[in-house]
Structures are given as structure tokens and as C-alpha cells.
Amino acid sequence: MLDFLPLPEANVTTQHPSLTWDIFCQVIDNFGDVGVCWRTAAELVARGQQVRLWMDDASALQWMTPQPWPKGLSVHAWPALMVDIPAVVGDVVVEAFGCEIPQPFAFAIARKAEQGLPPVWINLEYLSAEDYVERCHRLPSRIMSGPAAGLTRWFFYPGFTSATGALVRELNLSQRQSRFAGERLQWRAAQGVQADECAVSLFCYEPTALPQFLEQTPTLNTRLLVTPGRATAAVQALPAAQSLNIQYLQPCPQPQFDEMLWACDLNLVRGEDSLVRAIWAGQPFVWHIYPQHDNAHHHKLNAFLDWLGAPESLVRFHRAWNGMTAPQTLPLLSREILAEWALCIRAGREKLALQTDLIEQLQAFVAEKS
């Protein structure tokens, strides 16, 4: 079992005035979009802000979020009609992942701007390590048509360098991790993980190299913890799964998902939100990036691996896992390889922990543009 090392304490001392934020989220990939937006909204509230989260599909929040919801955070259906628009538009409007706010809300923004109180309008983009992120971060975009023509929208890019918006990191994350470190053995035992077993979490789409991975799990004496949904369906479709040590999990709130990543010796994650959580966990991980039809995700994955300084075995595993090379090229894992991956990932985590987190950067940006 690999040791678990909690993050160092966050150092954020800036106090910002309490503002109202309207955050818009259109669900594309079930969990990733919702996960990022919820964590962003919840952490803004934890830092004294008021947030309205506007969603076209909020069903995942029924199991994804801790109950009760934080005071100051409310969730609303997508505002398609003028009757759905609040009497006062927020001080900040955020379009997550480039989704366009509905026209009725744009009319309300324009009215507020006419009164001399334009909100700070932010397009919160996808996370990437590609070069364009540093070039485009914080750039303005003049709105040329529609009810809000003439107003400015600002691009805000999460990223991995100090010239980007960094990553979402809760102020209490290190305290949570330190507390869990004393409970980690009990967590593993509750999931049926024996003392000599390698605990591996699986949150994926349908990787073509999944059969090859399952075939080699006995060499690590693996206990496989499979998340519900597409990962469970992909595993259960393979005959080899019937003879392996597998625990099929139930849906769980985000804090419990984080704890799974902290407890496991290897995390196979997918999408954006779980990538960030795997980084903060500091355990070996493999990222199943969201596939795009033109294979643009291959360049995005390579850029991330370059930033990470990934060792050759981690690069080869990622490329086979993401269908960039043949499934048969999937390297054979060992505890020595996982230890090598852990050193690399923890070095990357240390660099990121020194950066100002995304929430603090967002608040400082709003203060600058207000």
C-alpha cells in the first residue's frame, strides 16, 4: 500500500466583499460539468459569496452533493423565459465551459448595464495544459450582436501554470485530507481491501485496453473498486471480470468520491473534475480524457503529460488507455512502477499547491474589473 500524503495548508488571506454570482452550466457529460460547477459554487459560498447555479439538468445533484446544501447557494432551472429571470442580475455572470446564457438573461444584463451597473461577465473555459491557455487567459471578447451587444465578456482559463487561472482547491482540503489519513485503513477495510492488496479505483468511459488491464490485475493482487454507470457496464461486459476481486460501488457525494481517491493505490479517472481531484490526492493515476471525434483530445493529453514530466511507463499507459496506441501496448504494472508514478505526480502537485487557487483568482479578477 502506498503512503498517503496530505496537501500542505492553503495560504489565502485576502478578504473580498460579498457578491452575488450567477453561474450557468449546461450538462454535456453527466458528471464532469456538474462536478466542476458545483465545487466552484460551493467554494465561493464557503468564502462568503452568494451563488445562483443555473442548470439545464440538475438531476445528478441529488446524489453528488452533500446535504443540506450550503447556505447562500441555490440551484435554478435554465431560465428560458423572461418570467424566469431574477429581479436583480448578479454582480458576476459566469458561463461555464463556454455555454451561452439564454437570451432573456442577456436582456437583463443589458438593462443592468444601462443603469451603470454591468456585471463582470466571465467565460470559464475548459482545463488544458496546451500553450493557447496562457495566451488566451483573461482576454476580453466584445459581444457584437444580440441584446448585450457592446458589452465585454472575459475569458478565464483554468490551467497548470502561474500564467493561468490554476485549479479549484478548497480552503479546507488539507484539513480534510489530514483527518482522513488516520481513517484510511478503516476505509479500505470497509471496502473489503485486504492489507496486502492493491486498491484500484476505476472511473472511465469504455477504454479499448480495459480487457488487457483486467488481465494483469492479478499480478498486483488487486481489489478493483468500480464506479457506477459506464465503468460498471464496461467491466461487467467482459467475461474476465467474473473471476476478479471487484467491488461495484454506489453513487456517492463528492466528498466520499475524494476519499476513495485518497484511499486507493491507483486511480483511473475520467473527465476534468476527477482529474483535478486525482491530482490533489497525490496518488498514482491515469486520466481517461473525454474523447473527441477529431482526436483533438490526443494533443490535449500529450500537453498534460509533458507538463507533468510523466515517466515513460505512465506515458505509454495513458496512450494505450486512451486509444492512441494498440491495447496490447499497455505496460505491465508493478508496485515499483506505481511508486515511480507517485513521485512524479506528487512533484506536480507540489508545484500546483504553490499557485493561487482558481477561486481566489476569480474573486481577485472580479474585483479588478468591477
For 112-131, the pLDDT digits (tens) are 999 999 999 999 999 999 99
Cβ count within 10 A of residue 41: 26
Which residue in 22, 33, 258, 357 is the catalytic one? 33
Which residue in 272, 273, 357, 360 is the catalytic one? 272
107, 206: one domain: no
* pLDDT value of position 29: 67
CATH of the domain at 147: 3.40.50
Q: Residue 238's domain spans which residues? A: 173-353
The three-class DSSP label of residue 204 is coil
304, 320: one domain: yes
* pLDDT value of position 30: 62
221, 296: one domain: yes
Q: Which of 172, 20, 43 has the alpha carbon at shortest distance from 94?
A: 20
Q: Is residue 272 flagged as an active site residue?
A: yes
- The total number of structural domains in the chain stands at 2
Q: What is the pTM for the complete model shown?
A: 0.96
* pLDDT value of position 292: 81
Residues of the chain with confidence (pLDDT) below 70:
29-30
* pLDDT value of position 266: 98
116, 210: one domain: no
Q: Is residue 7 assigned to a domain?
A: no
131, 182: one domain: no
45, 146: one domain: yes
The three-class DSSP label of residue 154 is strand
Q: Is residue 1 assigned to a domain?
A: no
Q: Is residue 357 flagged as an active site residue?
A: no
d(CA 98, CA 195): 46
* pLDDT value of position 9: 86
Checking 178-182 for CB contacts under 8 A at 24+ apart, the result is 178/6, 180/4, 180/6, 180/259, 180/262, 180/263, 181/4, 181/6, 181/262
